[in-house]
Structure 1
Amino acid sequence: VYAVVLKMLQNTALAEEATQDAYIKVWHNAGSYQRGKGTVLTWIISIARYRALDLMRHHKVRKETPLDDDDHHHDENSNIADSELAHPKL
């Protein structure tokens, strides 16, 4: 369970918090587990994942993706071509 939320959060303190909160919720809601919907482990992991998502929103945890400068490079000729496509001549 901890490994799943750690991979999501990339932060040990938040992963520990999510794991602990999930186990507390499991303890308090054990009677609501429904065998027909999946295994106990699946149920516990889903609770932990939702808690991790809540923490991500609260702490604004985001996985950063490096941007490639070439993807955002526009030369003068491409801007002219884009302009001509957007505004065709009559």
Structure 2
Amino acid sequence: MGKKRIIVAENDLVAMLRERNQRGFTILYDNYSSALYGVILKIVRSEEIAADVMQESFVKIWRNIDSYERSKGSLFTWILNVARNTAIDKIRSQDYQQNTQNQPLEYFVSVVEEENPVEHQVDAIGVRKVVDQLRPEYRSIIELVYFQGYTQAEVAEELEIPLGTVKTRVKAALAQLRNLISILIFVVFDHLH
């Protein structure tokens, strides 16, 4: 039986984090670490590196919580961006590039062939099912940006559409996701009471 999740209102959790309350950080970690780890692992493709990136991400979250602005999105969206950007920075780093060049071919074959554990991590919080409800043109962009670590410029090149279109679709997709997730949270919360 897994550890019971502690549910705290997002505003209260943010306030606890800004007060440098250790319990707030523990709640944040317990509630979101598995989802973040899944996204990080999908980007870096190494459990050891993913563990390091996750630790680095939570340090950044702890240090930079004052820069979180509710008007720009939910706490989860913000911490997901911190983790995703940290993972992308890692794979673009010289150390990572040199490390992957020294990997035997079997490593890459196993990475490609293995079932992707991120699917299970993301599904644990229901994000995959919510993303699947997006319009196809939004879903493809969210897949590339948030689950595969592409930049918006890289998405524009990959999908052969203007960068402005990508930015507009990301914004619209995130708005639709916010609505879908708030409905999901309401339904779950209503079911618990």
TM-score between the two structures when normalised by the length of structure 2? 0.31
1:23-73 Cα shifts (integer Å, max 9, x gaps):
1011011111000111111101101111111110121259x7xxxxxxxxx
Is 1:53 matched up with 2:88?
Answer: yes
Q: Shift in Å at residue 3 of structure 1?
A: 0.4
| Highest RCO, 1 vs 2 (Cα 8 Å, sep ≥ 6) | 1
Kindly provide the amino acid, as one letter, of the partner of residue 53 in structure 2: A
| In 2, Cα distance between equivalents of 1:52 and 1:14 | 9
Aligned counterparts of 1:13 and 1:55: Cα–Cα separation in 2: 12
- Give the superposed CA RMSD: 2.1
For 2:85, what is the secondary structure of its paired residue?
Answer: helix
Equivalent position to 2:70, from 35, 42, 59: 35
1:17 aligns to what?
52
Bigger radius of gyration among the two: 1
Q: How many pairs were matched up? A: 65
| 1:64-87 alpha-carbon deviations (Å, 9 max, x no partner) | 7xxxxxxxxxxxxxxxxxxxxxxx
Q: Which runs of 5+ in 2 are unaligned?
A: 1-35, 102-107, 109-193
Q: Report the residue type matching 2:64 in the other structure.
A: N
Runs of 4+ deviating beyond 6 Å: none
Return the TM-score normalized by structure 1: 0.65
SS of 1:29's partner is helix
Residue 77 of structure 1: aligned partner:
none
Instruction: Tell me the amino acid that sits aligned with residue 28 of structure 1.
Output: R
The amino acid that maps onto 1:29 is N
Matched residues, percent identical? 35
Query: Structure 1 or 2: larger helix share?
Result: 2
CA distance in 2, matches of 1:45, 1:55: 15
Structure 1 runs not aligned, ≥5 long = 65-90
Query: Matched residues in 1 for 2:55 and 2:38: separation?
Result: 13
